[in-house]
Structure 1
Amino acid sequence: MNPSAPTPSPSTPAQRPLVLGSTSRYRRELLQRLNLPFEVASPDVDETPLPGEAPIDLAQRLALAKAQAVARQFPQAVVIGSDQVADLAGEPLGKPGNHERAVTQLRRMRGQTVVFQTAVAVVCQDSGFAQTELAQVKVKFRDLSDAEIEHYLRTEQPYDCAGSAKSEGLGIALLSAIENDDPTALVGLPLIRTCSLLQAAGLRLL
């Protein structure tokens, strides 16, 4: 044996599979930044707010419910669930779904500060791991004219986004300030918090 040859290291145990419990293309694109193989599964969870439910509670409940729903399909896997709710003075604003509702949302938000409550949950049914984190992003909207709102919506059509705006696109022109401590949270998945949870669940990122 060559005495200068390095000693073989013990084999590294295989990682659990990773599943993103979301069909959002925005979350999928963000998770790809971590360079981890993962599958995507639909959580099929009713997102209707409970009577009197605060936006912060709604986001955290749905993120965990989505992760748990997919974890039941993939009990050996580490599953990510996430949810975002636009919080306008304590009122939850969801995805508009169409042009008319998006116009109504942006008219209500102009000149206002909206808190985007973005929750992420990581669950592994086999190990019993289940934790949730919350990122809060304060967004100040400009005092937009009706013409500016109409132009923006016709151009970007952000009808699948909570709050009717894509900050990563032309929607940044609607805003005067963003305050947050997790830069991707506003897009839909707070990666700093996600990394922390994945490592706590036993995945190696680096």
Structure 2
Amino acid sequence: MSTSPSSSRALVLGSTSRYRRELLQRLGLPFDVLGPGVDETPLAGETPEALARRLALAKARAVARQRPAAVVIGSDQVADLNGEPLGKPGTHERAVEQLRRMRGQTVVFQTALSVVCHESGFEASELAPVRVRFRDLDDAEIERYLRAEKPYDCAGSAKSEGLGIALLERIDSDDPTALIGLPLIRTCRLLRAAGLRLP
């Protein structure tokens, strides 16, 4: 659906991620932040891409119900290791396990974005997949990285905007901030489509 252009709508980021908040600040738009409170448990047989898409839209819709006149951004990222979803590790032990499994592998970080405005009826979603080739890491490298960075709130334990870049051989993406958690090129496109004027 489309909406007539209007710059008067409030913008809301439906996320508790500090990384997404910091990225959205780059656009110079005022915005509020609301936690969406969405259960992120994968459904049986759900692919990483489908999971990321479903959660991004669920987050945007959940916050849009609370702020129906606002333009709401929802986003989610799932690390896709040969079709298996890898989420946020949460603990050091799970992060070690994830990085051991990803070493020498190509992992697709499925970053989904949804923008919703209940009042105008606008709803649109996009996917920004990022292919990441990990170096053949040894256990000592993994341990040093985790102790230094503590990326336990990052999908797949890989925090590329910090020391995690040293774990990688290659990143292939058409939207450079997608790997950090919010694809800003696509975000700008959907915000314009929703009627917001960007600087």
- Give me the TM-score of the superposition, normalised by structure 2: 0.97
Secondary structure, aligned partner of 1:60? helix
Shift of residue 14, structure 1, vs aligned partner = 4.8
Cross-structure match for 1:8: none
What is the deviation of 1:165? 1.4
**Shift in CA distance, 183/38, structure 1 to aligned 2, threshold 3 Å:** same
1:101, CA displacement in angstroms? 0.1
Q: Where does residue 194 of structure 2 map in the other structure?
A: 201
Residue 16 (structure 2) aligned to one of 18, 23, 32: 23
CA distance in 2, matches of 1:194, 1:13: 17
**CA shift at 1:53, angstroms?**
0.1
Q: CA deviation at 1:145?
A: 0.3
Moved over 3 A (4+): none
Q: 2:149 maps to which residue? A: 156
Q: Distance in 2 between matches of 1:156 and 1:48?
A: 25
Secondary structure (helix, strand or coil) at the match of 1:34 reads coil
Structure-1 residue corresponding to 2:56: 63
1:79-135: per-residue Cα shift (whole Å, max 9, x none)? 000000000000000000000000000000000000000000000000010000000
TM-score by length of structure 1 reads 0.93
The residue that corresponds to 1:114 in the other structure is 107
Decide which moves more: 14-23 or 32-41: 14-23
Contact 2:122–2:194 (8 Å) recurs in 1: yes
Please say if 1:147 is aligned against 2:157: no
Higher relative contact order (CA 8 A, sep 6+): 2
Contact 2:47 2:84 in 1 (8 A): yes
User: Would the aligned equivalents of 1:122 and 1:198 in 2 still touch at CA under 8 Å?
Assistant: yes
Of the three residues 162, 170, 182, the one matched with 1:189 is 182
- Asked which structure has the greater CA Rg, the reply is 1
Q: Write the distance in 2 (CA, Å) between the matches of 1:158 and 1:91.
A: 20
**Amino acid in the other structure paired with 1:189:** L
Amino acid at match of 1:134: L
RMSD: 1.0
In 1, distance between residues paired with 2:36 and 2:104? 35
3-state SS of the aligned residue for 1:31?
Answer: helix
Task: Decide whether the 8 Å contact of 1:15 with 1:204 is kept in 2.
Answer: no
1:89 matched to 2:82 = yes
Q: Mean Cα displacement is larger for which, 63-72 or 13-22?
A: 13-22
- Post-superposition offset of 1:13: 6.0
Deviation at 1:15, TM superposition (A): 1.6
Q: Which residue identity lines up with residue 51 of structure 1 in the other structure?
A: A
Structure 2 unaligned blocks of 5 or more:
none
- Supply the distance in 1 between the matched residues of 2:52 and 2:151 (Cα, whole angstroms): 20
Aligned length: 195
Structure 1 gaps, min length 5: 1-11
- Cα displacement string for residues 27-48 of structure 1 (whole angstroms, at most 9, x for unaligned residues): 0000000000000000000000
